[in-house]
Amino acid sequence: MADLYTDSDRERIVEEPPKRVDAPVRTPFERDRARLVHAASSRRLAAKTQVVGPQSDDFVRNRLTHSLEVAQIARDISRALGDGAAELADLAETAALAHDLGHPPFGHNGEDVLHSLAAEAGGFEGNAQTLRILTRLESKTHRPSGASVGLNLTRATLDACTKYPWRAGEHGRKFGVYDDDLPVFTWMRSGVEGHGKCVEAQIMDLADDVAYSVHDVEDGVVAGRIDLTSLDVEALREVVRGWYLPEVQDAELDEALGGLRAVDGWPSSTYDGSRGSLAALKNLTSDLIGRFCGAVQAATPTEGGLVRHRGNLVIPERTRVEIAVLKGIATHYVMLTDTRRELQARQRELLTELVQVLLDRGPDALDRQFADDWRAAADDSARLRVVIDQVASLTDVTAVSWYERLVGPRT
């Protein structure tokens, strides 16, 4: 396939000199991927909640293992769609590695808390925080003025990492950029009209949906919280409509569930923890991932090259509903239990008190880089954003340890 990416796609915020001749020869997009792999923000994902807290079980996914699985799926989808286009696969894989960098402690529960607490500074959104990390907070490259440009990734890579390419309030609750990051966002979207996601971001988004819909169910089964042979269909319908597909009809949901149950690996007996049972469950996850990705591959036209803003993924409606059904199973049996609700309430209290004590204490209580940001902040809103950046950078474990150090032992 001809090279469909341009010099503009490969441009960086700050121009970098060529690498020395004895360094490994890598494309700009391969260099971007390497920067993600080596970033401190990537390492922290190992101690951040996916669905179940990473400290509670050594089988369940954390944000890092989830991101690695999303990256593998994104690469496989790209290679199938791109007819061997290595750069498409590199971009989609890097976007997958980066897609959860902005998540704070305690997963989506923590995200909701910080969004409320940061209202006066423009709110909080994990995807907008990802862009902020990549272009500001994760230190690697600086402008001549000394201002950080983060990892200094290429324009195409940053666009691929942007799941919601719009400002707050433009398209519902989700958004991809804070107002004070608009200059780099505008640079990134140069030449792009409207709010459309590039195809690499679409691949990342699909891979994320596929991975967590399948793997959250797998984790729930192994943890003994989900029995795929005995599902409450009425409750499942309610959860899917309430959380994912408000307009879906019972007949569509029943057809989708029937299709999933017809997959060869769908269990006929309750998971018992044996090696045979675990192997069967792993085969089911492989079959489901292949089913979803294969359906999208078959439906998506690739004539003329599928890169950046030339073309779109086509996700069949049946596939979209089947993925939502799996999400609904994990949500009903894992996320909506009374025990989990009680835990989430304690997490919300912890983050609320931690943000307040950091606002009260100021730079003396912050890590050095955030203390510097505090001192450079022009007003209370900017200082609030600094505190939110600090708290969002913490892992589940460090959020608890910071609370106990600054507030006191948890009761």
Tell me what pLDDT residue 316 has: 97
Q: Are 299 and 223 in contact (CB under 8 A)?
A: no
Q: What is the pLDDT of residues 155-198, one digit of tens each?
A: 999 999 999 999 999 988 899 999 999 999 999 999 999 999 99
DSSP 241: H
Residue with token string 């730079």: 363
Task: Report d(CA 204, CA 163) in Å as an integer.
Answer: 8
| pLDDT for position 18 | 76
pLDDT tier for residue 21 given thresholds of 50, 70 and 90: low
Alpha-carbon distance of 313 to 311, in angstroms, equals 7
The residues with which 154 forms a beta bridge, in sequence order, are 12
If you average pLDDT over residues 31-55, what whole number do you get? 82
Q: State how far the Cα of 132 lies from the Cα of 141, in Å rounded to an integer.
A: 14
CA 61 distance to own-chain centroid: 13
How much is the pLDDT for 23?
63
Torsion of CA 287, 326, 342, 47, to 10 degrees: 40
- For 343-356, the pLDDT digits (tens) are 999 999 999 999 99
Angle value at C-alpha 74, between 331 and 36, nearest 5 degrees: 100
Instruction: For 132-157, write each residue's pLDDT tens digit.
Output: 999 999 999 999 999 999 999 999 99
Residue with tokens 């307009």: 247
Q: What percent of the chain has pLDDT over 70?
A: 94
Q: What confidence tier does 15 reach under pLDDT thresholds 50, 70, 90? A: very high
Spatial separation of the C-alpha atoms in residues 272 and 44, rounded to whole Å: 33
At 310 the three-state DSSP class reads strand
Query: Nearest to residue 88, comparing CAs of 306, 311, 310, 299?
Result: 306
- The rounded mean pLDDT for the chain is 92
Q: Which amino acid is at 332?
A: H
Q: Are 148 and 181 in contact (CB under 8 A)?
A: no
Q: Is the pLDDT of residue 53 over 60?
A: no
* Angle separating helix axes 199-222 and 275-299, nearest 10 degrees: 160
